[in-house]
């Protein structure tokens, strides 16, 4: 199990930023990434990997969802906050 938070900006003159938080359990990785755009944020939720808990052999998962928001759910995010609670905000 691992949790990662990243924050980066590509160029000093480019004020757009990206944030991401990821979590891995039983071979499946979930990630939320946020990209700042002109009038808000694009939030991407991705889940992928081989589900080792699946009853069928080699159950691969690859799901992608995108949302638009006026607020950044990862800004000021505490690395110890429960990832499951963060994911529930987008279900």
Q: What pLDDT, on the 0 to 100 scale, is given for residue 10?
A: 54
Q: In this structure, are residues 18 and 8 in contact, taking their beta carbons and an 8 Å threshold?
A: yes
Q: Is the pTM of this model over 0.95?
A: no
State which residues form the domain around 56: 2-88
How far is CA 33 from each of CA 24, 52, 56, 57, rounded to the nearest angstrom?
A: 15, 24, 30, 30
**How many independent structural domains does the chain possess?**
1
Which pLDDT band, with edges at 50, 70 and 90, does 36 fall under? very high
- The answer, yes or no, to whether residue 48 has pLDDT greater than 80, is yes
91 — pLDDT class (breaks 50, 70, 90): low
């Amino acid at each position: 199990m691992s949790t990662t938070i990243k924050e980066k900006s590509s160029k000093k003159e480019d004020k757009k930023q990206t944030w991401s938080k990821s979590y891995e359990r039983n071979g499946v990785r979930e990630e939320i990434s946020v990209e700042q755009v002109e009038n808000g944020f694009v939030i991407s939720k991705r889940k992928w990997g081989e589900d080792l808990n699946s009853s069928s052999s080699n159950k691969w998962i690859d799901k992608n969802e995108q949302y638009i928001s006026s607020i950044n759910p990862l800004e000021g995010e505490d690395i110890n906050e429960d990832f499951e609670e963060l994911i529930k905000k987008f279900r």
